[in-house]
Amino acid sequence: MPFTEEQLAFRDSIRKMVDKEIAPVAAKIDAEDKFPEDIAAMFGEMGLLQMWVPEEYGGPGGDLTSVCILKEEVGRHSLTCSTLAANNSIGLILPVLHFGTDAQKEKYLRESASGKIITSIAMTEPTTGSDVSSMRTRAVRQSDGSYVLNGQKSWITWGENASYILVFARTDPDAGYDGISAFMVDTKTPGFRVGRAERKMGRLGAPNNELFFEDMVVPADCMIGAEGTGFKSCMTILDLNRPTVGASSLGIAQGAFEVAVEHAKTRVQFGKPLGQFQGVQFKLADMAIKIEAARALLYSVCAEIDAGDHSRRAVIASMAKCYPADVAMEVTTEAVQILGSSGYSKDYPVERMMRDAKCNQIIEGAQEIHRWIIGRRLVA
Ligand SMILES: Cc1cc2nc3c(=O)[nH]c(=O)nc-3n(C[C@H](O)[C@H](O)[C@H](O)COP(=O)(O)OP(=O)(O)OC[C@H]3O[C@@H](n4cnc5c(N)ncnc54)[C@H](O)[C@@H]3O)c2cc1C
């Protein structure tokens, strides 16, 4: 990918930081399943939690390409930390930049720029997964303009860590997609409660919580965008963020590939290194081809969106999420195979990478939903 000199310098500096700070602790974060507070603080100081906050609001700036470079590099060693990188984008920066008022931009973007807050986005409910329009959480407008929220969300990443959560709730129970609105909820608000954290297969250390809203009063100026436009804004935010999930996946694939190549060069069976057998070379070649293809797709999509061409945004964002996520699953599975029993051992990172890769085939639209988004336009 022809990155600019600035992008290459950024990538190299992130790679150095990741090799020094993240690689040594990635297995521990997974084993302890504990939120990496020190990494979050370090990312905040480095401007990495808040990448994409424009300089005019005190942020480091950034765009889709730079966020993807960051997430790919961190993802080489840890999906949890890659998810933490640019954490504020989906729950705060993108919605406020694209749909917020000037006053909301001043307030929320400046607070994000401090690098001291974690944010979340909350759509999923116990009975609402892929079909976002079926959500039940209610927001009822009061005579003074404020809203009262009641309902439950589930699987919310960083729910127990977040200072703000972008909550989607139904302001009109009968209006389908047009009855959903978005609220920037301060988690200190009375009536907000964090429930249990899910027990998961992977991406450990990044908690996923149930959230409860019980007669929680939210001021009118917390609504992001106009009433009833929440679903449409949600889709825009997701489109803009989805390639970054692809970037994390690409990082996982690259990380597992590097471990597999090293193992193939050093593990001797039948009198020579595994990598000298053509059967193993073919596996490595397929992994390399898929990773290069995923990288080319991802960054060409980033370039198109960063250039301001949004004409194909929904379709290409789905491609940029979907393909790298499948590649990560395939590559990590093959990496485990190439390492044999070592691949199945927690002493090596590839079993963790394989568990983590699965996560990205489910979140931010499961793979089937992305194929649906792409496919239905092909036959429209
Ligand atoms: C680790 C993790 C983190 C998450 N973080 C968040 C978060 O921060 N905020 C948030 O709001 N949510 C979050 N989620 C929830 C996530 O967005 C949902 O899990 C996802 O949207 C899928 O919904 P579901 O799990 O209910 O699956 P379902 O919608 O029940 O789907 C189950 C399966 O059926 C398939 N399927 C569904 N409909 C169709 C169809 N029409 N055609 C073909 N196949 C279909 C799906 O692709 C999937 O394979 C997270 C989930 C996980 C696992």
**Class of CATH domain 232-378:** mainly alpha
Q: To which residue do tokens 């600035």 refer?
A: 6
Q: How far is the C-alpha of 192 from the C-alpha of 201, rounded, in Å?
A: 27
**Closest residue by CA, ligand 1 atom 45:** 368
Span(s) in the chain for CATH 1.10.540.10: 5-113
157 lines ligand 1 (CB under 6 A): yes
Span(s) in the chain for CATH 1.20.140.10: 232-378
Res 300: pLDDT: 97
Ligand 1 centroid – CA 47 distance (Å) = 30
373 Cβ neighbours under 8 A, 6+ residues apart? 314, 315, 318, 365
The predicted model gives 3-15 an average pLDDT of 97
CB distance 360 to 325 below 8 Å: yes
Of all residues in the chain, the percent with pLDDT exceeding 90 is 98
286 Cβ neighbours under 8 A, 6+ residues apart? 334
Summary mean pLDDT of the chain: 97
pTM higher than 0.95: yes
pLDDT in tens, 309-360: 999 999 999 999 999 999 999 999 999 999 999 999 999 999 999 999 999 9
| 278 band by pLDDT with thresholds 50, 70 and 90 | very high
Span(s) in the chain for CATH 2.40.110.10: 119-226
The predicted model gives 105-120 an average pLDDT of 98
pLDDT in tens, 118-156: 999 999 999 999 999 899 999 999 999 999 999 999 999
88 lines ligand 1 (CB under 6 A): no
Res 1: pLDDT: 62
The predicted model gives 91-120 an average pLDDT of 97
Res 254: pLDDT: 98
Q: How far is the C-alpha of 192 from the C-alpha of 101, rounded, in Å?
A: 25
pLDDT in tens, 258-269: 999 999 999 999
Res 2: pLDDT: 83
CATH superfamily of 119-226: Butyryl-CoA Dehydrogenase, subunit A, domain 2 (2.40.110.10)
From residue 375, alpha-carbon distances to 167, 208, 231, 315, 366 in Å are: 29, 31, 21, 9, 14
CATH superfamily of 5-113: Acyl-CoA dehydrogenase/oxidase, N-terminal domain (1.10.540.10)
Ligand 1 centroid – CA 380 distance (Å) = 25
**Closest residue by CA, ligand 1 atom 41:** 369
pLDDT in tens, 297-307: 999 999 999 99
Of all residues in the chain, the percent with pLDDT exceeding 70 is 100
